[in-house]
Structure 1
């Protein structure tokens, strides 16, 4: 533990870099939190800013140097009789005034209670943290990364795990053969679907001739003049612009995620179980998944699937 509030810095990925990335944000988040002291068990007496004036180490560095309990918590130096502080030597005459100021500062503390210590978000009246609040705090002008299709990822009516998967695709971080090889794993780079080219994110999900047949299911339905973009983010952005010609915008927006999720499941079936479906079965699986997300009910009725497609 780095302190009583957080774990130590992550030095390796442990198979995924997600936690390491989250952990790097902690100093920024911690600087926008304040301590609500309760029993004092988690609050460092000297290091933490549990008083409104700031941390005691910063306010009284000369007194801190002489103290013998520099790593103790508030609970460890407080009792019902008052503060139990010990120092390395008696104070000199010229130090007495500083010690008086030190103890006067401590008078603001009225004693602990049985409630656990907690961190509170400074920019909320009740001290509650939210991702939305943190985003507004660190992005005050509400600027978006140019061309980043966040609405197609997080606003689409699809399962949350699929939204996360689509986000990884947009970040080029899905564990395809190419990305696994970048981590030092010796593998054959061939695509598990077509077996013709290297399995990169852009190839597997955009340009593979097998995946293209899933795209054609929907593109041909609307008779679009479509040229597959080079990147996932470009695909989402352009696909979103075509939603205006669709009869049902929300259904139209989930199509890319449906294709990619179906492709990934088929790829993993071939990779991990050495099994495969025919292209006809892959198309049917994709259509049934699309129908399920639209209707939120499972039906293997081909006519009902066709009706959903007809509403696009």
Structure 2
């Protein structure tokens, strides 16, 4: 990883042209002229020439004209095209060659001349570099880091986790849930632990993150209670990430502060009950879990001054 890789994300913006190499720096189009016109680069006299050295000034107005030198002269038909470019742009070309183009170089040469005819850098500003990964052209570390890292394989529901007004430890727990890193039965079996393959909550199915927190009978009662209280019809999605993607600000930007707390509160209450049953051998009934959820949501909301009639209905 060096300048060659880094420079692919940069584009030179030419002014005076004294700091930009004509052939080797990317100042026009998506790639340097040495790559865009390899045959012409091969017959160029000075391959290290700057843009400024490739321009000449002429006339009372001190206009700049191109003075790119090649190893051979233009053919007659190429000079006619060059004259037409100059007549339209009021510029005079001074391109020199010492041999004629080969037949296979003609199209490339014409295309090259048309590009030069349309691009005369200004004389009143200096050269600068533009960062192609940012719309404003300014370099920053984050854009380059994201470029090096590449696109993530999944889109992460970070807003509902980190922007909800829940305790930080709860947000961290839900972050682990989304990454499937909590110690449910399927994850513990990956650690070569042997035990009964069932969900400790419903004592029926194999225990996975999505089953425990979303599809288990005990969890489903909590989710159904919330949807009925909010007056919503809802199809429970396949996974926790899918649920969280569709949850954030679903009731509108200014009416969703308590709503955004709900999934974190449900997941946290289910996980606390899972720990009670696993380590203390104590079971709570469905009604007790509903009361625990309602009380926890009420306390979190009141701590942030979020009190509505709906919140009191949930807590009742």
TM, length-normalised to structure 2: 0.50
1:67 maps to: none
Question: C-alpha separation between the residues in 2 aligned to 1:135 and 1:236?
Answer: 26
For structure 1, the residue ranges without an aligned partner over 5 or more in a row are 1-132, 298-303
1:308 has 2:315 as partner: no
2:273 maps to: 266
For structure 2, the residue ranges without an aligned partner over 5 or more in a row are 1-139
Alignment counterpart, residue 233 of structure 2, candidates 225, 231, 241:
225
Structure 2 SS opposite 1:271 = helix
Question: C-alpha separation between the residues in 2 aligned to 1:202 and 1:134?
Answer: 37
1:252 has 2:259 as partner: yes
* Aligned partners of 1:147 and 1:237 also within 8 Å: no
Question: C-alpha separation between the residues in 2 aligned to 1:220 and 1:144?
Answer: 36
1:284 has 2:291 as partner: yes
Question: C-alpha separation between the residues in 2 aligned to 1:183 and 1:267?
Answer: 19
Structure 2 SS opposite 1:243 = coil
Structural mapping, 1:93-112, within 5 Å: none
In terms of Rg, which structure is larger? 2
Aligned residues: 173
How far does residue 178 in structure 1 lie from its aligned partner after superposition?
Answer: 1.1
Structure 2 SS opposite 1:229 = coil
Question: C-alpha separation between the residues in 2 aligned to 1:306 and 1:267?
Answer: 31
* Aligned partners of 2:166 and 2:300 also within 8 Å: yes
Structural mapping, 1:174-185, within 5 Å: 174-185=182-193
How far does residue 195 in structure 1 lie from its aligned partner after superposition?
Answer: 0.3
1:202 maps to: 210
Q: What is the CA deviation profile of residues 93-146 of structure 1, one whole-angstrom value per residue up to 9, with x for unaligned ones? A: xxxxxxxxxxxxxxxxxxxxxxxxxxxxxxxxxxxxxxxx97555226997765
1:167 has 2:175 as partner: yes
* Aligned partners of 2:176 and 2:182 also within 8 Å: yes
Structural mapping, 1:42-191, within 5 Å: 138-139=145-146, 147-191=155-199
Inter-CA distance 199–146: structure 2 relative to 1 (3 Å threshold): closer
Inter-CA distance 190–306: structure 2 relative to 1 (3 Å threshold): farther
Structure 2 SS opposite 1:254 = helix
Question: C-alpha separation between the residues in 2 aligned to 1:287 and 1:199?
Answer: 25
Alignment counterpart, residue 275 of structure 1, candidates 260, 271, 282:
282
Question: C-alpha separation between the residues in 2 aligned to 1:309 and 1:145?
Answer: 41
* Aligned partners of 1:287 and 1:305 also within 8 Å: no
Inter-CA distance 295–178: structure 2 relative to 1 (3 Å threshold): same
Question: C-alpha separation between the residues in 1 aligned to 2:289 and 2:277?
Answer: 12
1:192 has 2:200 as partner: yes
Alignment counterpart, residue 237 of structure 1, candidates 236, 242, 245:
245
TM, length-normalised to structure 1: 0.50
Q: What is the CA deviation profile of residues 195-233 of structure 1, one whole-angstrom value per residue up to 9, with x for unaligned ones? A: 010110010011001111111121001222211111111
Inter-CA distance 160–134: structure 2 relative to 1 (3 Å threshold): farther
Inter-CA distance 229–241: structure 2 relative to 1 (3 Å threshold): farther
